[in-house]
A and B are shown apart, each in its own frame.
Chain A
Amino acid sequence: MKRYEYDVLVIGAGPGGSMAARYAARHGLKVLLIEKRPEIGVPVRCAEGISRAWMDEVEIEAQEHWIDAYMDGAKIYSPDEKSVLTLSAEQAGNEVGFVLNREYFDKYLASLAVKEGAEIWLKSPAVQIIKEDGYVRGAIVRRFGEEVDVRAKIIIAADGFESQVARWAGMNTVVREKDIVTCIQYRMTNIDIDEKFTHFYIGSCAPGGYLWIFPKGEKEANVGIGVALNKIKEPGEVKKYLDKFIEEHPWLSKGGVIQIVTGAVSTCPVPKHLVSDGLMLVGDAARLIDPITGGGIANACRSGKYAGEVAAKCIDNPSKECLKEYEDMVHKKWDRKHLRNWYVKEKLAALDDETLNKLLDAIADVEMSDISVMAILEAVQKKYPELIEEFEDLL
């Protein structure tokens, strides 16, 4: 078996992997980035909506070729679709701003890694990790069909929702049934939508998740849905939910589907352990998904950067004690936010349509400039005091 040696092996060339490779290479390390697919960014497994606030931190400059549409804000619809909460981009939090073209975006990020000196192999899945004396020391990689032995001082697992590298290494990244959301999305064309807003539909149309419409340009949008796995009884049920919604809305059903995207996301709090001897987890593989929005691109990019930088510091001592600096950075950044959002998600998932209708009816009246948790709760209390009991724990 051919043998290769690197300082850092990054497994998975999504946003998290490319950023990890970029920052590790920038610090002078010899970096290999591997990807099992024949093309970076394909197939897309993403709704592509994102803000721009996080981009400075990871030194990404917006490029026209990977932005499909700019958004003015988000609209959230009650289950009866009688109430609409409109949020401007700043208020809507992390996940609006523009709608990406992931096929180009992911390739662009990979090119940033190459620019810093990282090497990339495509059609090269890691099929097993190499562990010695308790340390992860590399992986068996099937490169264009040939198994080769790749050794590295530090391995960065950026293998997405599958998160297999971590589990092969004995780390626990198993997600509970109620914290798994199964998703399907159609890219639809020739539909009639408000193209300046992302649209979110909640309630029984998407149990334990939501349905989204993210515009991709003129008369075109990603129309998708995520449903919590514990609400799914039959195989393929999530697709039935999406098809039903489209059928019930003539301004969608008049259009055609030009792409089908599928996937799953985790909606759990941040796991306690994100490093072991010789190994760091980033992005979806580290379960760094916002439990409410299901958004993960920004977190993947930021965690990738942190991991790449810590790799440079620990290259001569890749013990979990040294790599813990990365784990601490991640916990400091996301622990509180994701725990709170996970809790709100659990609460929201338990509300029936009638309650959600009342809730949206109450908060749709809140002045746009004044959207905060307290303002929302006060508005609800005025109109539907009994609803507040559901959220008392949050105060």
Chain B
Amino acid sequence: MMRVDPAKCNYCGACVGSCPVNCMFLNETRVEIDEDKCIKCGFCIRVCPVGAIEADWWSK
């Protein structure tokens, strides 16, 4: 499971543009993730300037 913490997210789209499989979407107010397409590369988690993306499969 992945989660974007709305309390941290700045809605900048850094995660969306970095996703190699284009499974994220920045809508009018928040980031959506299509987890069926996600390949768990972790780019979005690391590129997020404010560390707003969490995933249970993520480890350093």
Contact = CB atoms under 8 A, between A and B. Distances in A.
Q: Do A and B bind each other?
A: yes
A27 to B, nearest CB: 30
A180 B54 CA distance: 20
A125 B26 CA distance: 9
Given A167-B22, A168-B22, A234-B60, A160 B46 contact: no
Contact of B28 (A45, A123, A239): A123
Residue among B11, B27, B49 facing the most chain A CB atoms (10 A cut-off): B49
Interface in B7-60: 10-14, 16-18, 20, 22, 25-28, 43, 45-54, 60
Nearest to A167: B22
A233 B60 contact: yes
A253 B54 CA distance: 30
Contacts of B28: 36-38, 123, 125, 142
B14 A236 contact: no
Contacts of A37: 28
A239 B50 contact: yes
Q: How large is the interface on A (under 10, 10 to 19, 20 to 34, 35 or more residues)?
A: 35 or more
Nearest to A123: B28
B50 A162 contact: no
A235 B46 contact: yes
B27 A125 contact: yes
Given A36-B28, A233-B60, A236-B48, A263 B11 contact: no
B39 to A, nearest CB: 12
A236 B15 CA distance: 12
Contacts of A168: 22
A183 B17 contact: no
Contacts of B12: 43, 45, 261-264
A182 interface: yes
B51 A161 contact: no
Residue among A160, A162, A168, A237 facing the most chain B CB atoms (10 A cut-off): A162
Interface of B: 10-14, 16-18, 20, 22, 25-28, 43, 45-54, 60
Interface of A: 36-38, 43, 45, 123, 125, 127, 142, 160-164, 167-168, 174-175, 177, 180, 182-184, 229, 232-239, 260-264, 266
